[in-house]
Each structure stands twice: as structure tokens, then as C-alpha cells.
Chains A and B, each alone.
Chain A
Amino acid sequence: MAAIVEVKDVHKSYGKNEVLKGISLDVAEGEVVVMIGPSGSGKSTFLRSLNKLEEINSGQIKINGWDLVDPKNNIDKTRETIGMVFQHFNLFPHLTVLENMMLAPVEVGKQSKAEAEQTARKLLDRVGLADKADVKPNTLSGGQKQRVAIARALAMNPKIMLFDEPTSALDPEMVGDVLAVMKELAEEGMTMIVVTHEMGFAKQVADRVVFFADGYIREEGTPEEVFNNPQDERTRDFLNKVLNV
């Protein structure tokens, strides 16, 4: 399988504080990579650098054939191929659910309104929210908002989806619905990079688990390898804390 994400030796600092200390990672098409690790380990910063929401200081990032470090690279075109889902959903509160989903396809994807609406309604149906098309986001529960956010990202027909702690801001009973949508997406063959604290999801869905700590990737492997036989002391320590509550 061809790698659609190629990352080499990425460094990133905020002032004197280096948060990424040389990250390299390749992701193959159709692969689901789950990134775990303690807070502040750099995994969210790394994920956000993959669509240039964070500028890196050095290293190489190629994604879907676009070279993010090249100053002549068209970042808007690049981003059209990368779906991003945020912890706090970031739905546009002044637009209805349907308008949220149609905005980018019409404005930058050059789709007709009818076309965009058809796609949007199909996707809404897929995430189980067909009846919410015409409401404003503030009437939705957290879980519903996140499913709309996923559908909104999918409306651009991306080649890869990035999830930044998609369930961390949800009430526990909402988490399942969102994870179910993500699992379905994975089963359909979507390339996904997910930052999460949901170890169950990682075990069940991930092709590969990557453990971050202190700005480094400490360990990576299949879920069985990482969860059942962690090699790194930091990984063991972390898993002990999150799994044996």
C-alpha cells in the first residue's frame, strides 16, 4: 500500500518550549492510526500540523501528494483533501446544519447548491441525523454536533480524516454514537488519524497505535503489540494509569 502521509523529523517549538522533537510517521492508504499518550505529549500539535493549522519549525510533511513545507504549496487545495474533526465540534452557529455542510462544497468545491444539498442530506442520513437538516447547531446535543461535524468534513469528499480528541468534550452516553460513526468510516476504508483517550476504540478499530510522550513517538505497533506487550517504560506506565482505573 502506498503511503499517503509521509512525515520526516518534524520539530516544533513554542518559544523555548519544544513540543515536537523529531517526529517521523508514514500512514498508508486505508490505514487507521490511533495516537495515544498523556496530555501535553504533542499528539494534538502533531495532528494539527498535518493540515498546517500549526506551522512546523523543521522537517518534512507530505500528504496526499502535497508538500506542506513548500512555500508555493496551495494550502487551501491541500486542505480540501483533508477532513478535520475538532474536540469542540466548531460548527458554525449562524448557519443551519445543512448550511454548515453545504458552505465549503459550494464556496470552494464549486458544487451547485442542489448537488451540495443532495450530498449533505445523504451524509446526514448516514450519521443518523436526517431530521436535523434545518435546525441550528445550538439545538443539538454534543454527540449530534460531533456527528454533524464529521458529516461536514466528509461533504468535501476528503482522502484522509483527522480526528482531534473527537469524544473528549462529550457526555459519556454520547460517546458511543460518535465512535460508531467513526468505526463505520474505518470499515469503509477511509484513511484516518485519530488522537483519542478512548482505549477501547484504539484496540478495536486501529490498524496501528502510536504512543506519544514528551514530544517523541515512544512506541508504535498493532493494538495487540502496544496494549498487551508494551516495550517502553513510559507506555507501560501510561497504560497502567488509563486502563486500571
Chain B
Amino acid sequence: MRKWLTGLVVLVATVMGMTVGGQTMHAASHYTITTDTTFPPFEFQTQGGDYRGIDMDMLKEISKREHFTYTLKPMSFNAGVQAVQAGQVDGILAGMSITDERKQTFDFGTPYYKSGIVMAVANKSKVDSLKDLKGKTVAAKTGSSGAMYAQRMAKKYDFKITYFNDSNTMYNDVIIGNTVAAFEDQPVMAYAIQQGTKMKIVTDPADGNWYGFGVKKGTNAALLKDFNAGYAKLVKDGTYDKIVNRYLGEGGYNYKENAAAKSAADQSIWSLIKENKAALLDGLIKTLQLTIVGIILAALWGVLLGVMGVAPSKLIRGLSSVIIYIFRGLPMLVLAFFIYIGIPNLTGQKIPAFTAGVITLILNEGAYIGAFVRGGFKSVDPGQLEAARSLGMPYGKAMRKVVMPQGIRLTIPSFINQFIITLKDTSILSAIGIIELTQTGTLIIARNLQGFKVWLMIAVLYLIVITLLTWLSNWVEKRIN
């Protein structure tokens, strides 16, 4: 038993170390920079899994010229903005408009691209002005300039807004007709349409604004200086124009046409799997790491809460109840954001996304485990504890040797259930930028537009893992009984 426990702790420590350890060593000029998951032509993921686009190519050139290195952390735009404010990342380069409101919390680099907000509708739509939106619902991306513009117009023209975390999902929502129009940055919208998105722009660019590289106000001055110096060099030697032309010029890189051509020629699921094997495997491994580390630590924490829940001391029992009440009551997404973005915002101390994800799992799943473990302990006949104590066994020993083995046995079916729930819950952690299986699916679709097939693949992968996990659990259950 003790050996088994030691092995477990070593395993957990190893997995944690593997994923977390690498990020804590920072050289003087190494930065973490966030970008949007999909915002072509500024940022998007290529078939090979690299991030490309105007922003990304620019960042690469600037880092070369200014001799700094960086880790790229793509996440939804909204999460990225918050991650900068929380100090989780150093800067954001995501086609971000410079606004007066944002200037209160961000320092921006030299404006690098002029843009404006346009309204786009499905090709067959009859909507062609803001007036037509009365009583209808439109789509916008959370925290974007398009969303801010839409919010201002919503009062005047009396329409409602639905928010999305990435552009592709938003476009799809308009195309299938759930919402009637999308508000998006002009170059992004134009580029998407040029690339085959079945929408049309119906308004002139409004709210003309500039894009800028942002850091949290009052921090990372050196990074901002490097960025500005590098950008000036790019403009001067013509690299900037070359980069923009690469995407927006005649015959420029067309990521969707490439994807469309590929999928038209070869649509089988097998080829999709083959093409995305590496990404899917990485996502699956990350999901499994989260699940395994999460469930093991949550189980330890949950058993502790369960033990506390039947303690002789009223105070300890109360503490256990309060902890279970809070963390069972909080939605997991709120908890994840609170840990990843809320706490660093307060303390100024970065928490790596994986660690934040694991802590979320421990607290959330641990609360559920604590509740049923407490129930399991309570359902053991009180005579068992009395008999053990009567033999002279101290409370702790009597619990460990007599009550807990019986109580835990009763909870095995609940534990199996919790394993499966934990595996599924890891998908929620995609929201804080962990590229696990679900996020991998989002990224692949952003690239190849094969929504049905990719989600089918992801769903099947989850089911396979859950089936294996169930078999394993049933085998363990039989062995124990």
C-alpha cells in the first residue's frame, strides 16, 4: 500500500514537472506572447501546426532583429486580453484595435495597421443596413472592437447581440442563420470572404482604428521598445510591405483555398486523421495528462475532505462542508478563470495554464469526491468504529484500518463515474488556453472548415478513451471485490 502511494506521488510529480518545469526558467529576453486562435490574415494555424499571418510573420522578423525569443500562447481573444492584464503573458499581438478605453489598461506599441468595423451578412441575406437589424440578433466576438461597435449601435437600432470566442464559429453562426449579421474588422472580414466564406460586406468601414501591440500598462517597457524598434526597421527595409502582400496581395497565400482544395481532392476521415495525427495525439496526451494528474490529486484531496467530513471535531466537519459547498457550487469555467486570471491579477504571480487547470480539477472534482467519500464513510456501521476503538486502536488508526477501507469500497462506482466526468471536464480548460483535445479540434476546424468530420473524430476519440477507462475501472473494481 505504502509503496503504491509513493509510486503515485512520484508519477504525479514527474508529469507535473514535465509540463510545468520548462516554463519557469526564463532567460532575460524571453517573452510569452498571446495571440488569437484564428484571426486571418493576422493569425491562423497552418496545416503543419505553425502560427502564420501578418502579425505572426511580423513578430518573427522583429524578434530576429531585436534578439529576443518568445513563447506563443494562442487563446481566444478575450482570454488573451485578460491573460495580459493578469500578468500571465507579457504581450498581446492579435489584430487588437487601439481604443481610448483600452489605453487605460494597456500600453500600445507603434500603430501598425489601419482598420475599421464592417457588418457582414450571409450571401442570400436581404439585410443591407443597420436599420434592417431591428428586433434581430447579430454576432460579435467577445471583447473585440466589433463587439464594442455593435454594443453602441444596438441601442440606436434596437437589435440583440450574441457573443462568440472565435471568428470561425461566428461566421458559421451567421451562415446557418442563427444570427443575421456579424460585426468584424474590415481586413479580416474581407480576407475571409476572399477565401471562400459565404458572406458579403454590406456597410462601409466605421470606427476607423489602428491595430497595435499591447502590454499591460506600466509593465514590459523593454519589450515594447524592442517591438517598436523592430517594427521601424521592418517598415524601413520593406519587409513589412512584403509580409502584408504575402497575405493580402494578388496571389497571396490563401490558407482556406489551400484547405478547400485539399479537402475537395481528398475528403476521407482517414486522410484527415493522417494529416492531423500529430496535433490530435498532442491534444489527446494533454487531455490524458490533465485527467490523470487531476483525478489522482483530486482523489487525494477528496478523500481528505471526506475524512474531515466525519471527524469528531465540529469545526473540521464544518470546514469540510464549506469547502465542498463552495467548489461544488462554482461552475468549473468560473473557477478556471478565477485561478488562471483572477488570482494572478491580485497577486501579480503567474500561474502556468496547466497548473491552473490541474488546480481547477482538484478543487472542483475533489469537492464531488469529498461529498461521496464522506457519504461512504458515514454509511459504515458506527459499530465498526466502536469495535476498533474498544480494542484500543486510536481514532486515526481505527479510521485507516477499519472504517476507510469499507467506506472507500462503497464509493468505487462513484469514483469510476468521477473519472469519466473528469476526462470530459478537461475540455472546459481549453478556455484558459490549454491545447487539449477539444481545443485541438477548434484549431483544426479553423484551418480546414471540416466541422462535421473533425468534431466526429474528436467525439470518437473521447468515447474510445472513456471506454478504455471504463474497462480498466471495472477490472479494478472486480479485483478489489
Contacts and interface: CB of A to CB of B under 8 A. Distances in A.
Given A90-B381, A93-B406, A94-B406, A104 B393 contact: yes
A108 B386 contact: no
A79 B405 contact: no
Nearest to B385: A90
Given A90-B383, A90-B384, A90-B387, A76 B409 contact: no
Contact of B392 (A79, A86, A90): A79
Nearest to B397: A107
Contacts of A53: 386, 389-390
Interface string A97-122: 00000011001110000000000000
Contact of B387 (A77, A84, A108): A84
B302 to A, nearest CB: 21
Given A94-B405, A108-B397, A79 B389 contact: yes
Contacts of B60: none
Nearest to A53: B386
Nearest to A82: B390
A96 to B, nearest CB: 13
A60 to B, nearest CB: 21
A153 interface: yes
B401 interface: yes
A78 B392 CA distance: 7
A91 to B, nearest CB: 8
B387 A76 contact: no
Contact of A79 (B384, B390, B406): B390
A238 B405 CA distance: 44
Nearest to A84: B390
Interface string A54-86: 000000000000000000000011011011101
A113 to B, nearest CB: 14
Q: Majority SS of interface residues in chain B?
A: helix
Nearest to A105: B391
A156 interface: yes
Interface in B401-422: 401-402, 405-406, 409
Contacts of A79: 389-392
A39 B409 CA distance: 36
A108 B383 CA distance: 19
Contacts of A153: 390-391
A76, A83, A88 — which one has the most chain B CB atoms within 10 A of its CB? A76
A91 B392 CA distance: 15
B394 interface: yes
Contacts of A80: 391-392
A51 B393 contact: no
Contacts of A93: 406
Contacts of A90: 381, 383-384, 386-387
A156 B405 CA distance: 22
Contacts of B402: 92, 103
A155 to B, nearest CB: 8
A77 B387 CA distance: 15
A86 B388 CA distance: 12
Contacts of B387: 84, 86, 90-92, 149
Nearest to B392: A80
Contact of A108 (B392, B405, B406): B392
A107 B396 CA distance: 12
A149 B381 CA distance: 16
Contacts of A82: 390
A147 interface: no
Given A86-B387, A90-B383, A90-B387, A77 B392 contact: yes
Interface string B367-399: 000000000000001011011111111100100
Contacts of B391: 79-80, 84, 103-104, 108, 152-153, 156
28 contacts: A53-B389, A53-B390, A76-B389, A76-B394, A79-B389, A83-B390, A84-B390, A84-B391, A86-B386, A88-B381, A90-B386, A90-B387, A91-B387, A92-B388, A92-B402, A92-B406, A93-B406, A94-B406, A103-B391, A103-B393, A107-B397, A107-B401, A108-B392, A109-B392, A152-B391, A153-B390, A156-B391, A156-B392
Given A91-B387, A152-B391, 11 more contacts: A53-B389, A76-B389, A76-B393, A80-B391, A80-B392, A84-B386, A92-B406, A94-B405, A104-B388, A104-B393, A107-B401
Interface of B: 381, 383-384, 386-394, 397, 401-402, 405-406, 409
Which A-B residue pairs are the 6 nearest by beta carbons? A80-B392, A90-B387, A104-B391, A84-B390, A90-B383, A79-B392
